[in-house]
Structure 1
Amino acid sequence: MEFPSSTGITVHHTPYPFIASSKFHNSLTKNVVLITGASRGIGRATALGFASAGASVAVLARSTASLTSLVEEITTKFGTPVLAITGDVLKDAVGVVKRVEEKLGPIDILVNNAATSRMRRFTEESTSDLDSWWKVFEVNVKAPIALIHAVLPSFLAKKKGVVITVGSSVVELQAPFIPSYSSSKAAITKALQLLDIELRPLGILNFIIHPGMVKTDLSLGENSSSSVIIGDEMREVQSSYVDYMIDEPELAAQTFVALAVLASEGDEKVKTLSGRYFDVEDDLEEVLNKYDEIETRDLYKLGLKRL
């Protein structure tokens, strides 16, 4: 399987000067950010990145214990307000948002990072297995949409807001054995592409971001809460991807912060990426400088090619 790349754009695997956290120190002191899937990996790095920028941070995960060390690190290093939340977005997205706003104030930035996957031959799935197949859609599509809808009242009242949703390069690939994951990521990418038509005129920007090839529990198939990779054959397939997983989680985290800061400052170029897919390995400054070409050619959108 060949991974896509942007011709002529510098590729990064670690943070670089344009997105360096030092540039954005205390740039978001008046902002409240909610981050899902925040206990480890990209989510944890994202929480630390926004705390470094001075934001009040609400971190959401399935268990309080997994968030304890993160809260302690944010408090010790940055002293910014931080709130740990446990809850099921699928059951009560409105309740999650209400708890954040009661403790920290109206949400300015939402980061939809939580996700799940499933790898197995479709021909080996039983009828009962399809419940797990569709669970991927609930976590990867229903949950982020529910949270976006739950934060809308605050965004509309302020006439601004930023949503960052973690996408995946699988929408560009022909990757076998993960149809539920790939199609769920395609679905959320298309949904947010269309929502941008409604929301951008209201001051709400949303970005769909591939976080790079990072070694996380999800990418390594180590999600203990469910069967992500099923069977020895599938583990062999997944292990063939490991050599590509060379990106630091901070690359994604600092890209998220950079996008949020630029959006909050009203940067015209960054508005071009709203409703579009972006890969954090691509140099953000170089891509933004091609905003005219992106608009003219309607790049970074999901669609069909026709004769």
Structure 2
Amino acid sequence: MTTRLSVDFRDVGVIFAADRGFNYGDGLFETLRVVGGTAPLWARHAARLDTGCERLRMPTPDLAAVHAEVLRLCAGLDDAVVRITYTRGVGERGYALPSVQRPTLVIAASPLALETGASRDGIAVRLCDTRLAIQPALAGLKHLNRLEQVLARAEWSDPAVAEGLLCDMEGHLVCATAANLFAVLDGELTTPPVDRCGVAGVARAEILSSTPVTVSRMSPAQVLGADEVFLTSAVRGILPVRAFGVRTWQPGPITRALQAHWAGLGLPLPYRAKDSDR
């Protein structure tokens, strides 16, 4: 089945070449999962989009209408991935904000099929050479400029490596190219802060609200010494890390408990967990 598209609530797939999202990356996006006609993490996506609009000085869209459009496009799909792209719209030439903002809303929905092995057995990750620039004004936002992630993902083509970990300019680990990072360090579940760079993921927010987590800067060496490591993604869920550098792991009890929590939200795992996994 092809991707279903709407632009400004109309079933078209065209935007103007003068759109600031196209020209400057001036906008935000959300990527969410819809299961059986329900978006379980919608409230978190909506809150992040609202906060992002405020920080970028953009008018917030009608979030109820956006939600309804997401569900309309996903009608008949058992499991879907949706991207909401929200730009400042067409404006005058130059970086100055348009005198009147007319944002553009693009929603794309596609069927989703998750890989079974990633959630069950874990994934291999590598350390990227590309580093994230420190920019607190944009930190945490899911803004449209993803060139750092594009360059990082271009560093490898080995299909055995599923993700790359990114450091900031000072060598602190921040996240993966398309996920947030968690590690169990000295018995404490820990995740890096995203106050200077990186994205404040909605899956990360769900974990922070559901279990005790220490937010602390961490190094690659600390992760290599961790008891458990996993990544979080609103679409892919809780992904155990089974290999990083010379270190290997089996999915641990904290990872499995959080996978069970994730499934309890209405976001099913792509495999049925055994009792020993829980």
Query: Which TM-score band (shorter chain)?
Result: under 0.3
Query: Higher helix proportion, which one?
Result: 1
Query: Higher strand proportion, which one?
Result: 2
Which structure's relative contact order is higher, taking Cα pairs within 8 Å and 6+ residues apart?
1
TM-score, normalised by the number of residues in structure 2: 0.26
